[in-house]
Amino acid sequence: MTRLEGKTAVITGGGSGIGLGAAQRFVDEGAFVYIFGRRQETLDAAVAQLGSSARAVQGSVTDMADLDRLYETVKAERGGLDILLANAGTGAFAALGEITPEHYDDIFDLNVKGLVFTVQKALPLMATGASIILTGSSTGVMGTPAFSIYSATKAAVRNLARSWALDLRGTGIRVNVMSPGPITTEIALKVLGDEGMSAIGASTVLGRVGEPSETGAVAAFLASDDSSFMTGGEVFVDGGLAQV
């Protein structure tokens, strides 16, 4: 399939996990992809996998100068931007009574503030037909023990998409949320461990965890004209975890 032929995409948190799964699918469907992330060695390995249709830019979505440098690079090399997957994020457990200001700041700064300015700074490069995809989470609509701050950030992402769809009315730019459930990523394994991942996978309706290639397929749908009549929406890729 070449639904994204000739398109230019930016994926934050694109060096591994859900971001890399989407980058691979975008490249396979004809896009040129910029992956953005903090760890240069991870980015280098991802570009080696993705090939000549990918370029890495190192930086953090919490650093405004890094974001400016990312978009200056895209503008200089490609002229504009068709697809943005605002995917960079983090999570950690802390039950009520154990939440610290540092825990709160770390997660909200990356998952919400970083996402807000990732999108806002991209807008001058985007035109009619462009697609913005925000990575949400099934936790945004569920109660999860000791995971309230992360879950709150993902609920915020969901409302940002609703509000931004209205802000973007008349521009032809669409914005939607892709909300994964348990996906086999480095960060999920770090937070949950092998045992925790197995347990949450078993709790889904499909009885397993998902793979980054599966979220990548949904991201490609939202990036393409196949979703041309969708904005302000949310698509769950969670094995039914938050659906029944």
CATH number of residue 173's parent domain? 3.40.50.720
The pLDDT assigned to 189 comes to: 81
**CA angle, 208 then 193 then 16, to 5°:** 80
The pLDDT assigned to 196 comes to: 85
Residue 63 in any domain: the answer is: yes
Number of domains in the chain: 1
The mean per-residue pLDDT over the stretch 72-82 comes to 98
The mean per-residue pLDDT over the stretch 81-93 comes to 97
Sheet holding 83-86, edge to edge: 54-58, 32-37, 8-12, 83-86, 131-135, 174-180, 234-237
Instruction: Kindly tell me if the per-residue pLDDT of 126 is higher than 90.
Output: yes
Residue 242 in any domain: the answer is: no
Residue 244 in any domain: the answer is: no
CA pair distance 236, 243, nearest whole angstrom: 8
Mean per-residue pLDDT over the chain, rounded: 97
Residue 21 in any domain: the answer is: yes
Residue 187 in any domain: the answer is: yes
CA pair distance 6, 30, nearest whole angstrom: 6
Q: Centre a 10 Å sphere on the Cβ of residue 118 and count the other Cβ atoms it contains.
A: 25
Instruction: Kindly tell me if the per-residue pLDDT of 27 is higher than 90.
Output: yes
The pairing of strands 54-58 and 83-86 is unpaired
Residue 154 in any domain: the answer is: yes
pLDDT interval class at 193 (50, 70, 90): confident
Residues with active-site annotation: 150, 154
Q: Supply the range of the domain harboring residue 114.
A: 8-237
pLDDT tens for each residue of 89-103: 999 999 999 999 999
Global pTM value: 0.97
